[in-house]
Each structure stands twice: as C-alpha cells, then as structure tokens.
Amino acid sequence: MTEHFIGGRFVESHGKEVMEIHNPATGELIGLATLGDEVDTERAIAAAKAAFVTWSKTTLEERKVWLQRLADAITERMDDLKAITIAEYGAPAVFTDYIVDQARDFFIFAQDLLKPENFEIRQGLSTIQKLPIGVAGLMTPWNGSPWFVCEKAASALAAGCTVVMKPSELSPLQSKVLMECFKQAGLPAGVINLVNGRGDIVGNTITRSPNVEKISFTGSTRVGKMIASQASERMKRVTLELGGKSPTIILDDAEMGKAVEFALMVGLMNTGQSCTAGTRILVPKSRLDEIKQYLKTGIENLQIGDPSKRDTVIQPMVSAAHYERVQGYIRKGISEGAEVLIGGEGKPVGFENGNYVKPTVFVGVTNDMVIAREEIFGPVLCVITYDGDDEAVRIANDTDYGLYAYVFGADAERAQGIANHLLSGCVSVNEFIIDPAAPFGGFKLSGIGREFGIAGLESYLETRVILSR
Ligand code: NAD
C-alpha cells in the first residue's frame, strides 16, 4: 500500500517510511504500508479546501444521493472489507460483521438528518442558520477502523464539510479498501481525502493547519489532550471521543448467572479493546463468592481463537506492542496486591504465535489501584465489592472517565434509578444498546462533544443569525 486518496484519485506517497503489517492472530507478515508525511497531508488539505467551495453549496437532496452512493460502494465491497478487518485487526467474525455493516449504515442514517429545519429555522426576528464549518480533519483509532472512519465521514459530509481523514497507522489495509470504495462512489474531487500515516506527523499537520476548521478525533485521552491544546491556537472546533473505565454495577437482586454473563459480555467486547468496555465490575459484597464462581466458569467457557471463526469471542491484541502493554497492567495488578481469580500473565496455551492475552479477572481490587483507574484496553477485568446502592454509585462515579456505564438488576425501575445517578455519557440498563440516533460521548476525561444523530451533524456546523423583520 503505497498510495493515499487525494483529490479524487490515488496518489503515490511522498512520505517514504514503510511499515510492516502483521496478522495479529498468527504474527504473519501480510502487507507493507508507506506512510504519508507533511507534504501528503498538505496536498490533501488543499484538495479539501478547494472542494469545499462547491460541496458546501450542494443541496440536501444532492448530498443524500452522494451519501447513498457511498453506502452502495461499501455494500459492493462488504466481503473484502470484512476479510481484511479480520486479517489486519483480528476482530472476530461476528464483531466484524457489526463493525462493517454499521460502517455502511452510517451513510444511510446520515441521509435522515438532511432536513431543512436542521439547517435553518426562523425564530422571532432571527433566521438561525447552520453552516458547514469548513474542512474537517477526522482522526480515528484502530479498534474497528471502518466504523469510526465512516461514522465521522457520514456526519461531516452530510453537514456540507469536506474531509481529510487520518485513520490509525495500524489499519492501512482496511483504509485501502475504504479508499477504493470512495473512488467508486465518485464524489467530486477533493470532497473526501485520506492520508495514511502516523499521528505525530500526519495528525499533527492536520491539527495545526490554518485551513482545517474542525477536528473530530477518537482515540486515547493522552493524544486528545495534545489535540485540544494545539487546536486552541486557532480556536478550532474539536470533538474528542476518548478513553473510558466503565463500571458495571450488578445489583443484589440480580440473578447472578445472568448478571455475570452480561458483565463478561460488556467487559470483554472486542476483547476489552473497546472504549465502552465495562472493565470495573461492581458487585454486592454479600454475593461475592457466588459471583466469583460464575466468573470463573464464564471465562473458562469463552472461545479463544481464530478470529475468522464465528464462535470466537477472544481475539488477539492488535499488535505485539499492545500485548506487552496489557501484560504490564496484569503484572501491575499482581504487584498492587489484587488476586488473580483466573487468567494472569502470558499467552493462553496453543496461541503462542499471536498476540493473545489470557482473559483475566482480578478480585480483591480497590478502586484506587492503578488497574481500576487506568484504561487497560485488553481482556482484564477488576471486581470491586460495595455495600449498599449508595456506595455502588460512589465507586462507579469515582473515576477520571465517564463514557459508558452499565447497571444490571431484576427490578428495572430500581436499576433505572441507579442509572440516573451515574456521571456518564451513556448508561445501559440490563442490556447493551448503541443507538446511532442518540448522542454519544463522554463526561470528564472521556472527551468533549457528542457524535451520532443530530448532535453529530451539528458538530460540523457553525451558527449564523440573520436579524431582520
Ligand atoms: P491513539 O490516541 O493512540 O490514536 C488514535 C489516532 O490518533 C490514531 O490515528 C493515531 O495515529 C492518532 N494520533 C496519535 N498521535 C497523534 C497526534 N499527536 N496528533 C494527531 N493524531 C494523533 O489511540 P488508539 O490506540 O488508536 O485507540 C485506542 C484509544 O482510543 C483508547 O484510549 C480508546 O478508549 C479510545 N477510543 C475511544 C472511543 C470513543 O468513542 N470514546 C472509541 C474508540 C476508541
């Protein structure tokens, strides 16, 4: 992969650094990607800036047609995109289906937002207009790359912005298929641009550019802070979707077998490589022994293995470096005095070639331990006991993050009552739901702003008021 997508065509990379891409499940070398540099990025920004002049003036009906063409182009390449997501990222087949199907669907959902009242309303003596803000820089992580790229692109394009995307440098083969889809959709040259490359080079150039008005970033809180600080130089609008350390509160009236099944599902989704993973499991002290038993059996029954198989639940970590990072946290938990209930350091037997981590559950965790405070982004769960609902809420909210939270209990009204006290962008009660029409985003270090639906669209719009009689 030696090209970027700039100005409606594939362009040889000016940057010359070459990165090896390994299948995370086998360690096998599956590709080489040439990474872009400042010159590639500036070219993409210039193309987007030129295209903005006409794209921002397109009608809502015209934009609907283009969004549908993008959805159709992805539909045609569905199988290729799924296959490469499994090979390059290691996402299990069932999860990959969700990522890629919804990546396409974002271009369909966005069409529903294209209603005149979302762009202009009359209120008293004011005509309130929502204008596309300009060129949008979209930077995305590796944990479901097509999903993030398409979600941001759909909202930005619907708003009338042109885009420069920088997906994770760990996802270039997924980006290649997406670029082919963009080419196939045939949008006017420069409306969509994609540069592969590193964050500190391509990402930084986008953030600093005077020709990019909006940054929408999904990734770590560490990088989000840098972007917020750099973007403030020009008062750039930013949407930051960052990390999480989500609590799952199991209430004492829950049927514990079901509650633990739920906690494992939300804690280990995407093998913990998920910003919404419920990695702090808060359990009533009086039910701990029973819960431990269910956790042990639940983990023992999880299918670890080949991501292309439909029954696989536990996948490898995306890279060897990330595997090492997760191992460091497991060692940290042990050194902090937490007890390994199941799992622990090293690779599961039979999976020595891939970046597999043993699904690990720590008990005896207190909420001040590093493993309970920092985002591990792997299959490592902390069980923390509480005494009474008030303490459960206090521990749940005692975190620097606030992206997602879960409550599970038999009495739905009581569970809903607990949900009302949680400081979190989303709280799921008794099931895991992602509603693509509801605002998504976090409190505190989990970010700034909201994506999805009308909130997502508005994040790419600037307001002008015309006052007249
Ligand atoms: P990351 O922050 O390392 O990288 C994310 C993106 O930012 C990549 O494209 C990377 O190249 C780029 N980047 C790195 N340095 C940059 C810089 N200086 N300027 C601009 N861009 C830069 O995160 P990651 O490891 O790819 O993803 C995992 C993180 O993402 C986790 O913290 C996770 O919680 C978070 N995440 C959040 C959400 C959410 O919706 N809140 C969703 C998925 C992932």
Output the tens digit of pLDDT for each of the chain's 469 residues.
999 999 999 999 999 999 999 999 999 999 999 999 999 999 999 999 999 999 999 999 999 999 999 999 999 999 999 999 999 999 999 999 999 999 999 999 999 999 999 999 999 999 999 999 999 999 999 999 999 999 999 999 999 999 999 999 999 999 999 999 999 999 999 999 999 999 999 999 999 999 999 999 999 999 999 999 999 999 999 999 999 999 999 999 999 999 999 999 999 999 999 999 999 999 999 999 999 999 999 999 999 999 999 999 999 999 999 999 999 999 999 999 999 999 999 999 999 999 999 999 999 999 999 999 999 999 999 999 999 999 999 999 999 999 999 999 999 999 999 999 999 999 999 999 889 999 999 999 999 999 999 999 999 999 999 999 9
CA angle, residues 332, 396, 143, in degrees to nearest 5? 60
Q: How many CB atoms lie under 10 A from the CB of residue 308?
A: 16
Q: Kindly provide the b/e burial profile for residues 51-80, where b requires at least 16 CB atoms within 10 angstroms of the residue's own CB.
A: bbeebeebeeeebbebbebbbebbeebbeb
Structure tokens, 152? 């941001």
Q: Is the C-beta atom of 305 inside 6 A of ligand 1?
A: no
Smallest CA-to-CA distance from 326 within 347, 298, 341 is with: 347
Helix (H, G, I), strand (E, B) or coil at 450: coil
Q: Is the C-beta atom of 245 inside 6 A of ligand 1?
A: no
Asked if 40 and 4 count as a contact pair (C-beta separation under 8 A), the reply is yes
The atom number, within ligand 1, closest to the CA of 169 reads 11
Asked if 16 and 196 count as a contact pair (C-beta separation under 8 A), the reply is no
Tens-place pLDDT, residues 140-156: 999 999 999 999 999 99
Q: Are strands 237-241 and 339-342 parallel, antiparallel or unpaired?
A: unpaired
Pocket test for ligand 1, best of 45, 221, 273, 275 (most atoms within 8 A of CB): 275
Cα distance between the two ends of the chain: 58
- 């590796």: which residue's tokens? 142
- Residue 434's pLDDT is what? 83
Tens-place pLDDT, residues 26-47: 999 999 999 999 999 999 999 9
Distance CA 216, CA 156 (A): 9
Q: Are strands 380-386 and 120-123 parallel, antiparallel or unpaired?
A: unpaired
Pocket test for ligand 1, best of 41, 95, 220, 271 (most atoms within 8 A of CB): 220
Pocket test for ligand 1, best of 139, 152, 204, 317 (most atoms within 8 A of CB): 139
Domains of the chain: 3-242+444-467 (3.40.605.10), 247-429 (3.40.309.10)
Q: Is the C-beta atom of 377 inside 6 A of ligand 1?
A: yes
Distance CA 459, CA 468 (A): 26
Q: Is the pTM of this model over 0.75?
A: yes
Q: Is the C-beta atom of 385 inside 6 A of ligand 1?
A: no
Structure tokens, 63? 């934009």
381 Cα to the center of ligand 1, angstroms: 21
Indicate which residues carry an active-site annotation: 241, 275
Minimum CA distance residue for ligand 1 atom 37: 242
